[in-house]
Every structure is written in structure tokens, then in C-alpha cells.
Amino acid sequence: MFEKLMWVLVSFFVVYFALDLLWFRKRAKRPIYQQRLINILLPIGILAGLGIAIKEMTVYLFLQIFLLNIAELCVLILATTGIVLIFKTSVTTNFAQGTIATVGAFTAAKLVIYLTKNTALTMVPKLALAMVASALTSFLIGLFVDTVIFRRSKYLSSVGKQMITMGLVLVLLGLMPLIFGLLPLTIEQFSYDGKMIQLTEEMILYVPDHNILTAIITVSMLTVLFLALRFTKWGLGVRATASNETVAGMMGVNTRLITALSWGIAGAFGGVAAYLYAPLGTQVTVSFMTSVQVNSFLASVLGGFSSFGGPIVGALLINLFASISSFFNSVWTSVIVYALVLILVMAKPLGLFGKKTAKKV
């Protein structure tokens, strides 16, 4: 019964979506009821599809896979937040976010090697120091990029700024082997144990410690960021700069400092993300963050760049799609996820939570 209802809901959405793409959009002006209809049908369709998939794979398995993937989700959220922060202040999509973060991870890995050789620190303080080093390196690179490059290219078009970040990717990709050597490095997890969670008599879920730690770090960083955005002078400045940079500057907001700090903080978020992502079965290489980078871009587009919360929901959705489709077909997982995101973005080009800004001709 439940399943039939869900299928009906999904098919409603699919039919409407097809009609919308092929027919409704041809009209010069869309009536408001169509806008509302797709706004209602979209979440219902997504939720119903997720419901069917979860029922198919059983709730227990879903929860278990979700808990195992939670570290990747947190990494994705951290990277996405960095990208959105830069978009807010500099109005560009930062293609170099992943690469800046990779430099941080390399520094951390080198620092761990140095500390093991020269000091008698135990594992936990050593790794904590390395994480701070990763964040700090990326913070400094972010500051450097803004003060040296972006401060001088304020009046370029947004696509031009995007191209500068692409050039930055190439520069960093070339510099990293020179500084850190050609060999891939590794970063250890804080602990390779895990916790058992007893839900009912038969259901015991397993969570690795690394995932718990990642979740704690992510949630605390996000909380601090959102509180800072809401209550500090810097946060007010970011919001003012995001709404209109020139006017904010006229009103006495130090937009230079605000933008530089935003780049730095976005870099630090990326650095922490890269540090937490490296022990998840990959090695630190020049391009190990590329998949995270692509996913976080898609998450930002899916959620809509205009809000901070939207991209986080986008990251959550992408991670859910990935964990569900990896259960059904592990080879084509990323293809399925990308295709789903593309379809959703076709339905809502400004993102699920995006707002339309008026455009002057």
C-alpha cells in the first residue's frame, strides 16, 4: 500500500516535470501557480523516491550505509561551505578550493612525518597539531590569493574571475610536486576502532570513531561559523558585502578585510575537509580532492548559491543519493548521482533554495 502510494507520487512528479520542461517553459511568462506546483511537487517527488529506495534496501541497511558514509558527508559539507562563503563575498565560484585544501593536507602529512622523527609526541596531539597546520596553511593561501589577485580584479566579470581561479588550480598543481615531492603521502586516522549502537534486539549499528570525530568537528565548525555570521561584526560585514559591495564600502564596512578574511576562512574549512578526507582510503596526491570539489560544486548548484543552508541540504541529498545508489549498483554510482543532480537542476536552475535576483538589461 505504502509503496503504491509512493510510486503514484513519483510518477506525478515525473509527468509534471516532463510537461514542464517540454511545454510550459516555452511560454513567455510563467504563471505563479506553475511555480508553486513545481515547488510542492519537487520535494514530494524526491522524498517519495527516497522512500521507495529505502524500503527496497531495508531501513537497517540504509542507516548502516549512511553511518559509514557520514565522514564523506561532513567533508562535503565543509568544502561546500567554503565555496559558498567565497561566492557570497567575491561573486565567483572558486575552482581552486579543492587544490588550496590539498596544499593544506600535504603540509599536515609532512608535519606528521617531521614530528614522528624529531619528537616523542603521542598519536593524538600529533594529529591534532597536523590538522591545525592544515587549516592554517589553507587559511594563509586563501588570504594570499585574495590580497594579491582578487583585490586587483574586482571589476572583472564573474566568468573572468572564475577563470582566474582555474589558473590558480594549474599554478598550485604545478607547485605541489616541487614543494612536497612526487610521492603520495598518507594521513592516519585518529583511531581505527568503532562504536556499536544497539537500536533493538537484532539491530546493532557500527560507527567508526573517525566518522564520529569528523561529525563533531564539522558540526562545531559550522555552529561557530553560523553564530559568527549572525552575531559578530565580521558576519554583518559579510552579509552587507554579499548584498552590495559598493554600498557596504560607502557605509564604512571594510570590504577588503571582510573579503580577505572570508577567503582565509573558506580556505581553512577546505584544509580541515582535506585533512579529514585523506584517511578515508585515499592517499594525499595532487588531485585527491577533485571528486570532493566536483561534488561540492554540484551540491552548491543543487542547493542554490544564494543561501548558506541550501548548499548543505544539497550536500546531504548528494550523499544520500550516493549511498543509496551504491547499494543498488556500485559501478555506476557517480553516474547515477550526477544524472539525478542534473535533472533536479534542470527543474530548478537557481537551486532548490535559490532566489531569483532581478536583472537589469
Q: Can you give the binding site for another protein, defined by CB under 8 A?
A: 92-93, 149, 152-153, 156, 158-160, 162-164, 166-178, 182, 286-287, 290, 294, 297-298, 300-301, 331-332, 334-335, 338-339, 341-342, 345-346, 349, 361
Least gap, CB of 209 to another protein (angstroms): 31
Question: Residue 293's closest CA among 310, 309, 317, 269?
Answer: 269
The three cell numbers of residue 283 are: 592517499
Measured CA to CA, the distance from residue 270 to residue 45 in angstroms comes to: 33
Which residue, 191 or 290, is less far from another protein as judged by CB?
Answer: 290
Which residue, 117 or 359, is less far from another protein as judged by CB?
Answer: 359
Least gap, CB of 42 to another protein (angstroms): 15
Cα 345 from chain centre:
16
Which residue, 214 or 285, is less far from another protein as judged by CB?
Answer: 285
DSSP string over 35-96: HHHHHHHHHHHHHHHHHHHHHHH-HHHHHHHHHHTHHHHHHHHHHHHHHHHHHHHH-S--TT
Least gap, CB of 187 to another protein (angstroms): 21
Which residue, 69 or 93, is less far from another protein as judged by CB?
Answer: 93
Which residue, 4 or 360, is less far from another protein as judged by CB?
Answer: 360
Measured CA to CA, the distance from residue 68 to residue 332 in angstroms comes to: 19
Least gap, CB of 205 to another protein (angstroms): 30
Q: Is the separation of the CB atoms in 120 and 319 below 8 Å? A: no
> What are the beta bridge partners of residue 208?
194
Least gap, CB of 337 to another protein (angstroms): 9
Which residue, 1 or 178, is less far from another protein as judged by CB?
Answer: 178
Least gap, CB of 355 to another protein (angstroms): 14
Measure Cα distances from 102 to 184, 201, 290, 357 in Å. 12, 44, 9, 34
Least gap, CB of 75 to another protein (angstroms): 17
Measured CA to CA, the distance from residue 288 to residue 153 in angstroms comes to: 29
Q: Greatest CA span in the chain, whole angstroms?
A: 71
Which residue, 81 or 300, is less far from another protein as judged by CB?
Answer: 300
